Structure 1
Amino acid sequence: MNHQVAIVMSEVFLRRLIPSLTPFVHRQQDYRILSIHRPLEELERLLGELQPNGLITEWLPQTTEAILTLNRGIPTVIVDTDYGYPGVLSVDVDDWAVGREAAQTFLRSGYRSFACLGNGMPYSDQRIEGFQAALTNQAAFAIHTETGFERAQYGESFVRPSAAFERWLAQLPKPVAIFAVHDPLGRFLCGVCHQLGLQVPEEVAVIGANNDELVCGLTYPMLSSVAIPWGTLGATVGEAMQRFVSGEQLDCSKPRLIPPSGVVLRHSANHFAVDDPLLRRAMSFLSERLQDPINVGTMCDELNVARRTVERKFKEHYRCTPWEMLCQLRVTQAKRLLVETNHSVALISQLCGFNDPERMAVVFKRLIGEPPTHYRKFYAAAMSP
């Protein structure tokens, strides 16, 4: 039997989910797309005409509640919210973990002054809470909320900065590491820094969230961002809808939370944004040779520098040894491959320079708190309604 499923969401969100929803077409899910930005009267009429067997919708304030009211009784999955609705399954990103990823990346880069730029949405507060919880008690920390983005389309960048925001940004102790709770806010922040004559990332390092290629790649400088495994999220939604329309009863008492898959470093925040040329050369060497069986001695020989000098500089700026930094870089790459590919742990250990699954498991558990196999299983479990 062919099941007709209405998808009511923005073009941005649809673009994220399409690759992982497409396989469900072969399992007789026939999708009908409606823009969530249509007037509610139009959505009511069109959904009434479609009479879908199931509904997948994005969460937007007020709009989502209205859509649910119009379509009571239809199996429904809401994407990108941890709000609970009776009989409706919510699938969301773990926003606290998103904030933690950003903070941990900044901490590894040696920053001591931190800030968050929020937009007042519920996920914004959660991401900021996660970020702050990951900081040490000694870290300087500031928060600013900039409104107005709720009236802008996701891909547009016409929001003008408030005078309060400009004052806040100018007064932050530099260099400062700022987490913008989503990519358009990160792009906005980079633009305001340019207007105020602040150098990114030398004075202001910026990490956004969602890792939207269209936003990150078209921002100057290109925007670093916390990566969301949209494929995992989309597959979770598709599988849940498949079970819904097949007549299964799902546990909708709590949301399915999908953890982020690390930070993608681009020009707006990276380990190379340091004044010391030796540290820049060392970090470039480590980053470019992750897959090779290198060690600190190899690096010192090729850069023609004294090992004690390099280790002292790493301790002063990054608060770790060069070897610890290499392990962190390799584990970050391994996390992404575990989530985004079906590669075996043995192959991933080779691709990340460990060359031995047992060795990778030891380092991975020391830094992440669990072995690679458990980390991957956690993502797999998150996909299972």
Structure 2
Amino acid sequence: MTRTQTPPRTHRIALLFNANKVYDREIITGIGNYLLSTRVAWDLFLEEDFRCRLEGIERFDGDGIIADFDDPAVCEALSDCALPVVAVGSSYEDASQYPPGLPYIATDNPKLVSLAFTHLIGAGLQRFAFYSLPEAPENRWAQQRELAFTHLLNAEGLDVEINRGLPTSAPGWNKASEQLAAWLKDLPKPVGIIAVTDARARHLLQACLMAGIAVPEEVAIIGIDNDPLTRTLTRIPLSSVIQGTEEMGRTAAHLLHQMLHGARFPGRRILVPPVGINVLESTKHQPLSSPYVMRARHFIRQYACQGIRTEQVADYVGVSRSSLEEYFRRELQCTVHQEILRHKLDAAKTMLAKRDASSAEVAIRCGFTSLQYMYAVFRRELGCTPREYQERAKSSAAPG
């Protein structure tokens, strides 16, 4: 007689995160990956924005909670919760800032900022600034990144320049952008700026475009989050530090899984380092002596895929085509047309590698005058057709 195996108990778990934020979404993804890899049976309670349902959460009729403790309201709501709770959030220089008695999974702020700072130094920059958020209880994590930046620059004997800007809202957006543009104009250049998030990095980039400041020749910008949405909203692709958010989610789920079976980790803190940097155009700083070439490349980065020609670039810069061509030959050893074409080719390669786009669609979106012309450029520059390039990119990205 065969014995039937009792199925594992299903636990009811609340995830208190704001699914509208990329940081929270990736932590949730890490939790989900842990469940898939271990086949743990959890029923998940998850709102798009938990703050809408935070009242009464301490009476949640479930088995455990994983929560974003960067929000002070969460700390207060769960301070007397009888259920097993795993906290997730910012690291803190002052240990008293952590919630007492709870296991805590933290993003390592000093390492995030250090990685961005080291990248900017490697790009040849010697002046640095930090664009943060206004001081507020819900922005404690941002102030921790400011502290990390201050410690790094003090250790190097460099001036510390921090701008917290204004809160961004629809009515105050123009004022915030104008104030930011004025700050950027006053900064000694070239300068590398670390933004506390990708959203703030995008704000910086927009202010640079509004003020006519060349990115990255005059201002190199790096954010934190590696948010794919932000990349689609900017004319110049933004470099960004990739947080270890999925690992944070997996670790939090692993701890809670153990706690549901009797383990306890009071006051345990685990700092998760960043994964790396997604290096894109906004920090590919190349010192140039000609302001005309800087302005020209700034214009090309934004509009190469819109089919611009050399004459339009020269008009933007305010010099004759022949003069601009001479400046390009001296500084970059190429023509203006070749620089435009390089940006189109890079954009086409990125599109082909990341999605199943047709060659015709890529040609249109990247500003090639015809599909045949794009084929000719790929064969001349890369020795393959666009489709062959796409297949190579897929095979190299496939797990071994």
Distance across 1 between alignment mates of 2:212 and 2:269: 43
- Post-superposition CA distance 1:84-108 (Å, at most 9, x none): 2233222111101111111111111
DSSP-derived class of the 2:30 partner: helix
1:169 match: 184
1:231 and 2:249 matched: no
Distance across 1 between alignment mates of 2:149 and 2:56: 43
Report the AA paired with residue 222 of structure 1: P
2:55 corresponds to which of 39, 44, 49: 44
User: Which of the two has higher C-alpha Rg?
Assistant: 2
Report the AA paired with residue 78 of structure 1: A
1:5 and 2:19 matched: no
Q: CA deviation at 1:159?
A: 7.5
- Post-superposition CA distance 1:272-329 (Å, at most 9, x none): 57564269x9xx9xxx9xxxxxxxxxxxxxxxxxxxxxxxxxxxxxxxxxxxxxxxxx
2:258 match: 243
Equivalent runs, 1:63-212 vs 2, <5 Å: 63-69=73-79, 72-82=81-91, 83-119=97-133, 120=135, 121-135=139-153, 137=156, 139-149=158-168, 160-161=175-176, 164-212=179-227
DSSP-derived class of the 1:56 partner: strand
Distance across 1 between alignment mates of 2:81 and 2:57: 15
The 3 A distance-change label for structure 1 pair 273 and 93 is: farther
Q: Which runs of 5+ in 1 are unaligned?
A: 289-340, 348-385
Distance across 2 between alignment mates of 1:273 and 1:2: 59
DSSP-derived class of the 1:221 partner: coil
Q: Which runs of 5+ in 2 are unaligned?
A: 1-8, 92-96, 290-330, 347-396
Q: What is the TM-score when the length of structure 1 is the normalising length?
A: 0.64
- Alignment check: 8 A CA contact 1:103 1:132 kept: no
Distance across 1 between alignment mates of 2:40 and 2:268: 26
- Alignment check: 8 A CA contact 1:161 1:192 kept: no
- Alignment check: 8 A CA contact 1:78 1:90 kept: yes
1:57 match: 67
Distance across 2 between alignment mates of 1:265 and 1:255: 30
Distance across 1 between alignment mates of 2:87 and 2:199: 22
- Alignment check: 8 A CA contact 1:2 1:28 kept: yes
Q: CA deviation at 1:144?
A: 1.1
- Alignment check: 8 A CA contact 2:89 2:106 kept: yes
1:333 match: none
Identity %: 25
The answer to which of 91-100 and 132-141 deviates more is 132-141
Q: CA deviation at 1:162?
A: 6.2
DSSP-derived class of the 2:44 partner: strand
Distance across 2 between alignment mates of 1:203 and 1:190: 12
Equivalenced residues, count: 275
Report the AA paired with residue 35 of structure 2: F
The 3 A distance-change label for structure 1 pair 17 and 186 is: same
DSSP-derived class of the 1:179 partner: strand
- Alignment check: 8 A CA contact 2:181 2:210 kept: no
Distance across 1 between alignment mates of 2:149 and 2:100: 31
